[in-house]
Structure 1
Amino acid sequence: SRSQHKNKTLVIERFFKVIEEGLVVPKQRKPTKVPKQVKVKRLKTKRIASEKKANRKPPEIN
């Protein structure tokens, strides 16, 4: 059986726990650079897609 006194103590404990969690400052994220190899790979795939689309066009007649 629950009593009013038990409920009050539980609520107070939870309240203090929530306050403590709110006071914790989260660690700041350290920014990192994108690796060179990843940049090269992305540019290569972009170039391939560009060439593929360019090949779909009919040839120019001069």
Structure 2
Amino acid sequence: MYDEDFIKQAMALLPEIQGMKISHGRAAEILGIDKETLIDFYGDMGYPYLDGSIESLK
């Protein structure tokens, strides 16, 4: 589904996203994909877009 080069690039950007240095949208632009695809990719890799419980959103 994802090629090796894409996986390497996306995973290299993950610490930047987690550290709030860049947004998911900016990372998606760098990778040449849309934000939703990137969010789905990270979710597939075990890194959810929202971390926390539903209760924390109330």
Same fold (TM over 0.5): no
Could you tell me the TM-score, scaled by structure 1's length?
Answer: 0.27
